[in-house]
Structure 1
Amino acid sequence: MDSENAHDAPSLGTHLALSFPSLVVGVISAVGLFAVEELAHAVEHAVWSTLPEAWGIDPASGWWIFGILSLTGLAIGLIVQFAPGHGGRDSATTELVAPPLRLSTVPSLLVVTVLGLAGGVSLGPEIPIIALNTAILVALVGRFWPGVSTEVVVMVTAAGTIGALFGTPVAAALVFTGIVAGFKGGGALWDRLFAPLVSAGAGAVTMRWLDGPQLPAPAFPLLGAPNAADLGAGIAVTIVATLVGLAAVVVFPYAHRFFHGLKHPALYITLGGILLGVLGVIGGPITLFKGAQQTAELVRNHAEYPLWTIVFIIAIKLAALVISAAAGFRGGRIFPAVFIGAAVGVAAHAVMPTLPMGLAIACGVMGVVLPVARDGWVALFIAVVIVADATVLPVLCVAILPAWLMVSRAPEMLIHEALPPVAKELPAG
C-alpha cells in the first residue's frame, strides 16, 4: 500500500467507534430476519396445514393450490395499490443494497413479504428483509448514534442480514468485495469491510443461536481429488445450468413490461398470482415457495423422480420465478435459483450416473445463480455451501470461467429505474 492510501485508511479509533453500532446492527438484523421468517412460517402453517386439516381438504390438491396463490396475488396487489407505502419498491428494480425506505413503508412491506413467503410465491426473503431492516435501523442509529452516516448504516445492515441469511459472514464479505471495489478514495479492502464484517458476524452468530433457517446442505460423499472426467462433466453441467439461468434473465424484462403494462398493481399482481396458481397445479407442491425445503426434498428423494419429471420441474420453477419476480411480488431471486440449479444437478446425475451427485448439484447451483445474481463470488459460495464440500471448489473455479464469459455480455435480471442516492448523513429528526 502506498503512503497516500495508508493515510486514507480509517484509523483504529474509527474502527473501534463503529464496532459496537455494527454489532448491534448485526444482532438486530438477524432478529428481524428471524421474526419475519417465523411469522411467515406461522401463516404458512395455518394456510397449508391447519385450515385444510380442519376442513378435511388435501392441501396438495390442485384447486387449493390455485386458490391460495390467486388469493395471495389479489391480497398483495390490493396492498401494493392502496396501502400507505405501497409495499415498498418493486423487487424487480431493487438490488440487495439499496437506499433506505421511509418508516411509513415498513408495515405494508412487512405484510406483502409475509404473504408472499407464506402463500407459495417463488421468491426468497433477501431483498425485502434487507429493506425492512435498513429502514428500521437507519432510524434507530440516527437517534442513538447520529454521527454514523446513512451510507454506513445501509452497508452494515445489509451485511448483517446477509450474514444471518446464510449463517456465515463469508457470504457478506464476498458480496461486499464487489461493492467496495467501486468506492473511490483508496484504502485497504479490509479497512472498508471492517464494519460490515462485524455486523455480518454478529448477524450470523445470532441467527445460529436462534436456530433460524439456513440453506439446505444435504450430506454427500466428499469429492476429494477430482479427475479429468469430473472436470469435463462439471464444466458441461455448469454451462447447461448457466443457459437455464440465462433463459430466465432474457425473458424477465419482457414479462415485467407485460405485467406492468396493466398499470394497476391490483390487476397485474392478481394476474401473477393466478398464473402462479396454474403453474402450482401443474408442477405440484415441490414447485412452490422460495425453494429451500423443496431443494432438500428433491435431492433427498431424487431416485423417485424420472429424468423427464425433473426437467419438467425445472421448467415450471423457472417460469414461476420469472412470473413472481416480474409481476410485482416482493422477494429475492437467489433461493428459487438455488432450487432450479439443484434440480439441474439432479438431472445431470441421472444422465451421467458416474458424476458425483455433490459435484453435479454444486455445478448446477453455480450455473443458475451466476446469471440470476450476476455475482461470481456469491455463485461460488452458495455452490460450495449447498453441498458442504470444499473439495468441489477447484472444479467450480475452472467451470465458472466459461460460464462467466456467457453471462458477462448478457443483461442483468434487474429492471433499472432511477433511485435516490444513499445520503451521506442522516436526515434531521
Structure 2
Amino acid sequence: MTHDAAPPGPALSRATPARTLLPLFLPSALVGAVVSLIFIGVSRLADQLKDVLWTDLPNALGIGGFSSLWMIVMLTTTGVLVGLVVWKAPGHAGPDPATLGLQAAPMALRVLPGLLVATALMLAGGPSLGPENPIIAVNVALAFWAGRRFAPRAPGELWVTLAEAGTIGALFGTPVAAALVISEALAGRQMRGLLWDNIFPPLTAAAVGSMTTSLVGHPSFDLDLPPLGDPGWADVFSALVIASAAAVLGMAAVRLFPYAHKAFSFLRHPMVALPLGGLVLGLLGCLGGPLTLFKGLDQVAELARHPDDYSAGRLALMAVVKLAALVVAASCGFRGGRIFPAVFAGASFGLCAHALVPSVPASLGLATGVLGMLLAITRQGWLSLFTAAVLVSSPSIISLLCIASLPAWLLVTGGPQMQLREDGSPMR
C-alpha cells in the first residue's frame, strides 16, 4: 500500500543577518532626518506666505481676508503665479500631477526648484491640495541622487523607498503610517528575507523622520473629540452606513476626475488652465466658505472644536464643495496631494451624519466618514484605517473602523482611481 507524498509547503524565507541590516541604519536615519527637515522648511515657508497673503495684505488694504472678493482674487492670482512657474521653470515643475501618487519615480534635479516653488505657492494660496505628493517627489529625487553619488553599489530602489517612508513618517508625525503603506506595497512583490527584514531600513527612516517632525514641527492629529465608549449595535450600524456612504460620495468625485482633467487639458497652456482653475476654486470658496480652502487639516480641527455649531446642510455643502475643489485643483495643474483634502471632506460628511442623527457620536461619524472617503480617493486601505483612527484617540474605534472598512472597500475596489495614466485614462 502506497501513500501519496504530501504536497510541499511554501518555502520559508530565511532571515537576513543583523550584520547585513546594521550598515543600513545610519543612511536610513540620515535620509529620514533630511526629508523631514525639507518638509518642515517648505511648510513653514508656505505658512509665513499664507499669513502675508490672507492677513497682512488684506488688512493693509482694508479688505476682509476671507471676503468673497479676496478669495476670488487670491485663488485666481495663485493660479497665475503657479502657471508662470509651470510655464517657465526648468522641467515645468514636474509631470502632470494628475498622473502622480504617493510612489514617485526619481526626477531630474533641475525640476525640483520649480516644483518646490509651485508647491509653496499652492499651499499658501488656498487651493484644496496637500503637500504629500510633491514633497515625496522632491525627497525621492534628492535621496536617489545622493545615494547614487555617495553609495553607488546600493540599489537605487533602496533610496526611493527610504525617501518615501521618511516623508510619510514626517507628514503624519508617526512611523506607523509609513510601515503600513510599505507593508501594503510589499504584499505584491517577491521579497527576499522576512517582512520585518525588508521593513527595517524604511521603518528606520520613517521613525527618524517622524521624530524630527515631532521635535521641530510639533504636529498633532488628535482632534480632542470626546472619546467613544463601549460600542453598541447602533454604533456598528452607524459605522457601516457612514463609511459606505462616504465611499460612494468619494467615488463620485473619482469618476468626475478624468472628465475635469480632459476639460482643462483642452486649454493646453498652463497660463490659461491654472488661472481659470484658480477662478473656479475662488468661486467654490465663496460657496463653501473659508473652511473649504487650503489643504484641510487645520480646518478639520476647527470643525472638530465646535461640531454642533454647523447645521447638517452646511456640513454637507462643505463636504461636496471640498470634493469639487479637490477635483478642480488636481485636474487643472496645481502641484499637490489628495489625502488631506479628502480628510476634510470625509470629516464634514461624518459630522453631517452626527448633525442629522445626534445619537451618532461626533467622533464615530468623523472617523468613519474619513475612512470611507480616503478608501475611495487613495485606495490605500491601511493608510485610510490609520488616518481615521489617529484622528480620534479612542481604542474602541479600531474595531468599528475595521468592520466599516469591509463594505466600503467592496464599493471602491476594482473601480477607477483618482490617478490618471499619461493618456488621461484612470488607473484601476
Q: Is 1:53 matched up with 2:53?
A: no
Q: Name the aligned partner's letter for residue 13 of structure 2.
A: A
User: Residue 181 of structure 2 is aligned with which of 147, 166, 175?
Assistant: 175
Task: Note if contact 1:5-1:186 (Cα within 8 Å) is conserved in structure 2.
Answer: no
Is 2:158 aligned against 1:157?
no
Residue from 358, 366, 371 that aligns with 1:366: 371
CA distance in 2, matches of 1:376, 1:6: 26
Q: AA paired with 2:297? A: A
- Compute the displacement of 1:179 (Å): 1.0
Of 333, 338, 356, which aligns to 1:333? 338
The code of the aligned residue for 2:388 comes to: A
Q: Normalising by the residue count of structure 1, what TM-score does the alignment of the two structures yield?
A: 0.94
CA distance in 1, matches of 2:150, 2:193: 28
2:37 matched to which residue of 1? 31
Structure 1 distance, partners of 2:307, 2:188, is 42
TM-score by length of 2: 0.94
Deviation at 1:143, TM superposition (A): 2.8
Match in the other structure for 2:235: 230
SS of the residue 1:330 aligns to: coil
* Residues 246 and 373 in structure 2, CA contact (< 8 A), matched pair in contact too: yes
Residue 359 (structure 2) pairs with residue 382 (structure 1): no
CA distance in 1, matches of 2:273, 2:20: 48
* Alignment correspondent of 2:132: 126
Q: Does 1:304 align with 2:309?
A: yes
Judged with a 3 Å threshold, the aligned counterparts in structure 2 of structure 1 residues 337 and 296 are, in CA distance, closer, same or farther, namely same
> Which residue number in structure 1 is paired with residue 280 of structure 2?
275
Match of 2:95, SS state, is coil
Match of 1:317 among 303, 317, 322: 322
Which of the residues 87, 90, 100 maps onto 2:93? 87
Cα shift readout 1:284-333 (whole Å, capped 9, x = no counterpart): 21110000111111121222211111111111111101001111111110
Q: Is the 8 A contact 2:16 2:194 kept in 1?
A: no
Is 1:345 matched up with 2:350?
yes
Q: Distance in 2 between matches of 1:3 and 1:282?
A: 58
- The whole-number CA distance in structure 2 between the counterparts of 1:169 and 1:86 is 32
Report how far residue 393 of structure 1 moved.
0.8
SS of equivalent to 1:32: helix
2-structure distance, mates of 1:5, 1:113: 45
Deviation at 1:5, TM superposition (A): 4.8
Query: 1:356-402 CA distances to partner (integer Å, 9 max, x unpaired)?
Result: 11111110000101110101111100000111222101111111111
Q: CA deviation at 1:123?
A: 0.3
Q: How does 1:182-331 map to 2 (within 5 A)?
A: 182-215=188-221, 217-331=222-336
Q: Which amino acid aligns with 1:275?
A: V
Looking at structure 1, the residues matched to 252 and 394 of structure 2 have their Cα atoms a distance apart, in angstroms, of: 28
Structure 2: distance between partners of 1:324 and 1:13: 48
How far apart, CA to CA, are the structure 2 residues paired with 1:306 and 1:185?
Answer: 51
**Which residues of structure 2 form unaligned runs of 5+?**
1-8, 424-428
Q: Which residue of 2 aligns with 1:356?
A: 361
Q: Which amino acid aligns with 2:324?
A: A
Whether the 8 Å CA contact 2:367–2:391 is kept in 1: the answer is yes
State how far apart, in whole Å, the 1-side matches of 2:122 and 2:394 are. 32
Structure 1 segments unaligned to the other structure (5+ residues):
419-429
Any conservation in 2 of the 1:72–1:119 contact (CA below 8 Å)? yes
- Between 179-188 and 302-311, report the one with greater CA deviation: 179-188
Q: Is the 8 A contact 2:307 2:362 kept in 1?
A: no
User: Would the aligned equivalents of 2:224 and 2:393 in 1 still touch at CA under 8 Å?
Assistant: yes
The Cα of 1:187 is off from its aligned counterpart by 2.7
Q: Which residue is equivalent to 2:111?
A: 105
**Which deviates more from structure 2 when the two are superposed, residues 131-140 or residues 179-188?**
179-188
Aligned-residue sequence identity (percent) comes to 45
Aligned to 2:402: 397
List per-residue Cα deviations over 1:223-279 (Å, max 9, x = no partner): 232111110111111111111111111101111111112211221112111110111
Give the RMSD, CA atoms, in angstroms.
Answer: 1.6
Rate the CA distance shift 1:255–1:299 in 2: closer, same or farther, 3 A. Answer: same
Q: Using the TM superposition, give the Cα deviation of residue 128 of structure 1 relative to its aligned residue in structure 2, in angstroms.
A: 0.4
Say if 1:167 and 1:208, in contact at 8 Å, map to a contact too: yes
Letter in 2 for 1:188: L
* TM-superposition CA deviations, 1:103-128 (whole Å, max 9, x none): 10111000000000000010000000
Kindly provide the amino acid, as one letter, of the partner of residue 108 in structure 1.
Answer: G
CA displacement at 1:90 relative to structure 2: 2.0
Q: For residue 13 of structure 2, what is the aligned residue in structure 1?
A: 6
The answer for the alignment partner of 2:416 in structure 1 is 411
Q: Residues of 2 paired with 1:304 and 1:354: CA distance?
A: 16
What is the rounded CA distance, in whole Å, between the counterparts of 1:186 and 1:19 in structure 2? Answer: 18
Preserved CA contact (<8 Å) 1:165 1:214: no
Contact 2:281 2:325 in 1 (8 A): yes
2:69 aligned to which of 63, 66, 70: 63
One-letter amino acid matched to 1:59: G
Q: How far, CA to CA, are the matches of 1:171 and 1:390 in structure 2?
A: 17
Q: Distance in 2 between matches of 1:295 and 1:271?
A: 27
Task: For residue 396 of structure 2, give the secondary structure of its aligned residue in structure 1.
Answer: helix
Aligned to 1:115: 121
